[in-house]
Every structure is written in C-alpha cells, then in structure tokens.
Amino acid sequence: MSEVVIAGIGQFPVGEHWKISLRSLAARAILPAIRDAGSLKPQALYVGNFLGPMASHQSNLGTLLAQNAGLDGIESFTVEAAGASGAGAFRMGYLAVASGYVDVVLVVGVEKYTDMVGPQLEAYTTTAMDYDYEVMAGLTPAAQAGLLMQRYLHEYDAPRAAFGAFPLLAHANGAHNPNAMFRKAITPETYAKAGMATPPLNQFDISPHADGAAAVILTRSSLLPRAGIEQAVRITGSSVVIDRLAPHDRPAPLAFEAAALSVEGACRQAGILPADVDFFELSDVYSIYAALSLEAAGCAPRGEAWKMAQEGVFGLKGTLPISTMGGFKARGNPLGAAGVYQIVEAVQQLRGQAGENQISGARRALVQSLGGPASTAVTHVLERCP
C-alpha cells in the first residue's frame, strides 16, 4: 500500500464573519487547498461540520459545498462527531485514499457559528451531550468541563490558578498566527482577574466558539506531482476511539480513556511512542482538557500536567510544545472545523512554514481532536517526508 500524504492545505482566519455565508466560508479554505496541492483534482469531498443543520438550517453540506466550489459530480457527504467532526472527516479521507478506492480526497472542516445569536445557539452545542440525562439537568459543555475540573482539583489537590499556564501559552503562540482569532499574549494577572464562568473555570479557561474553515488535500505519495513531493506530509498513524457519551457513565471520568486508547492506536500504527513526537496539537477546548489529554497520552503523570505546564515544558521552547499556533484558546474554536485547523497547523510546522512559531527541526506531530469530554477521540501521527 502506497503511503497517504497531505498534498495541500488551506485555512481562513477564525473569527466572527458576519458577512460570509457557510458555503462561502468553506470555499475560502477549499480553493487555497486545491491550489496548494498543485491543482490536483479531488474525486471526493468529506465535510466536517457540527451545527449546520441547527444554526444554519442546512443539511446535506456535502452537496452544497461541492457545488459552490465548482466540484460538480464528485462523491461528497458530511461527517459529524461534535467537536471532532473535522478530524472525523479527515479520518474518512485517510481511509478512502488508503483503501485505494479514491485517489484524491478533499477534506473541509467548516463551522458557521454566527448565523444566529442568543441562548438557543448555546443550546445547540449541548446536543452533543446526553439530552435526556445531562441536558435536562441544565448542563452545558462548559459546565461539564467545570464538573471534571472540580473533581480534578479535589483528587490531586491542585491549585486552580496553576491552570492559567495553558491559556497563557496558547495566547502567546496565537500572537504570531495570522489565522488566529486572538493575536495578543495575556499576562498572569489578566488570567487571575478573569470573571468566573462555570466554576472552577474562569473565562480564560474556555475557548471561544467562532466561524472558521480549513481544508486539506489527501492523495497517495505515488500520485504526487513532482513539485509537490518536497512539501508533502505523511499520515503514519490514524485512530478513532469512543468512550461512553456522558462522564457520569464512566468508571473514571478523569481518565479520558478514549483519548488514551486513540493515542496508543495511532502511535502503534506509526511504530512510535508518544515520547517520539516533536509536538502535540491537542484539544485545549478548556484548560482542564489540555491537562487531561496530556495525562491520557502519557505525556504527563496523572494529576501532574499542570505542574509541567508551569515549568514551561509545553511552550514552543519546551520539550513537548502544544497548541503551537494558539490552540483552541487563541486560534479560536470553530467546533466542527477545528480538527482540520489542527491538521493544517501541524503541516505548517512540519513544512517549516510556521513563521515565528516554528519549532526547529519538527519532523513528527501528534494531533488529537476531541468530541465532547473525549467522548470521541481522533488521533493522527503526521511526519515530514524524509
């Protein structure tokens, strides 16, 4: 089997794009990705999206987005896995190319969050939880993170303020990413003074929902145009694992078991250990999720990720950089599109195109997207072509 490679990337800045429609937003990532791949013609388009049917009253995005981008007559449909929708679509693209049935795949993650405003929009994001047994108690995704963080502080006797290390490093990295929603570093004082959200989470522990679109072109290395070989990035590991949907149904809610198993699966396929990667694009949707993801991956002992964060281990100059282009906190959280942004950012690093945030000598990346509190975990290992 010839290797599956990422041949092109495209992204549009995350933000509140009142003037841009869902279909147009997708096109602004799709067209640059196709150009970047040397105009390889996609035979299939897999769309990652979470809220379209609710927030934009639009289903069957596969057809709409393909048509709008001038891709008539191809194969196309949507993959939905809440916040991991984009990563799920990427996994679908990987499987399609690896199977040999499709030569060139286009994956787009797109979320149009600002088509409406108000509490109903917040209610739509709760559809990823157990409606009968979580949502009916008034729980929201942020409150779910609050429950997990409160328990973490209790079990590990961790100081709440220590979690500020995660948003601080994310905002510092976002400052140099032209596609980030927030491009300004924050100080420890700003974090300490932020208003409470769903305690113990404060407002800086929560990533902002926003509009966004990112796209990639996948193909087999043997089909790459000659000029494209140098910048191609190999997909050497791919794994999706689910947990029970609601934390209350899990024997150990802080274990993020699906995240752990999915890292294990992707690394086993790549023939590496998590410690062999040069950086980790994780899902810091909430500060506590960054800590739990690091611990699940085995990159930090249980209950100690916050200590390592304070010591600078996860900064750009640390031994395991995370959220290198700003993560969910500073790049923004375009929900169903986020997973494809993470892949695009990892490719930027592996190609040496990450500008001021470039990790020197970056050869191998671990990329993980979560749907809910690791109810779904999608993990990929990406490597620079030798």
Q: Which is nearer to other proteins, 253 or 274 (CB)?
A: 253
Closest CA to 32 of 13, 17, 58: 13
Binding piece for other proteins, criterion CB under 8 A, among 47-55, 123-131, 268-276, 295-303: 123-131
Q: Which is nearer to other proteins, 79 or 246 (CB)?
A: 246
CB 120, min distance to other proteins, A: 5
Residue 198 interacting with other proteins (CB under 8 A): yes
What whole-number distance in Å separates Cα of residue 86 and Cα of residue 339? 4
Residue-wise burial string across 35-68, b where 16 or more C-beta atoms lie within 10 A, e elsewhere: ebbeebebbbbbbbbbbbbbbbebeebbbbbbeb
Binding piece for other proteins, criterion CB under 8 A, among 30-38, 158-166, 175-183, 244-252: 244-252
CB 202, min distance to other proteins, A: 12
Q: Which is nearer to other proteins, 178 or 195 (CB)?
A: 195
SS3 136: helix
Residue from 48, 164, 247, 326 that binds other proteins (CB under 8 A)?
Answer: 247
Residues numbered 279 to 308 that lie near other proteins (CB under 8 A) are: none
Residue from 27, 61, 246, 294 that binds other proteins (CB under 8 A)?
Answer: 246
Residue 244 interacting with other proteins (CB under 8 A): yes
CB 203, min distance to other proteins, A: 11
Q: Which is nearer to other proteins, 151 or 183 (CB)?
A: 151
| Sign of the alpha-carbon torsion through 64, 68, 73, 76 | negative
CB 349 within 8 A of CB 237: no
Residues numbered 132 to 151 that lie near other proteins (CB under 8 A) are: 132-140, 143, 146-148, 150-151
Closest CA to 345 of 176, 121, 168, 117: 176
What whole-number distance in Å separates Cα of residue 339 and Cα of residue 371? 10
Q: Which residue blocks in 244-374 are alpha helix, DSSP H? A: 257-270, 287-296, 305-310, 327-331, 338-351
Residue from 100, 230, 249, 271 that binds other proteins (CB under 8 A)?
Answer: 249
Residue from 122, 230, 276, 311 that binds other proteins (CB under 8 A)?
Answer: 122
Residue 343 CB partners (closer than 8 Å, separation 6+): 6, 9, 86, 87, 90, 214, 216, 281, 367, 380, 382
Q: Which is nearer to other proteins, 53 or 318 (CB)?
A: 53
Residue 199 interacting with other proteins (CB under 8 A): yes
CB 241 within 8 A of CB 258: yes
Size of residue set near other proteins by CB under 8 A: 35
What whole-number distance in Å separates Cα of residue 22 and Cα of residue 63? 13
Task: Determine the angle formed by the axes of helices 287-296 and 141-156, rounding to 10 degrees.
Answer: 60
Query: How does DSSP classify residue 135?
Result: G
121: left (phi over 0), alpha (psi -120 to 50) or beta: alpha
Residue from 2, 120, 203, 353 that binds other proteins (CB under 8 A)?
Answer: 120
Binding piece for other proteins, criterion CB under 8 A, among 25-33, 41-49, 120-128, 177-185: 120-128
Q: Which is nearer to other proteins, 101 or 133 (CB)?
A: 133
CB 108 within 8 A of CB 215: yes
Q: Which is nearer to other proteins, 126 or 379 (CB)?
A: 126
The residues of the shown chain that bind other proteins, judged by CB under 8 A, are 118-120, 122-123, 125-126, 132-140, 143, 146-148, 150-151, 154, 196-201, 244, 246-249, 253
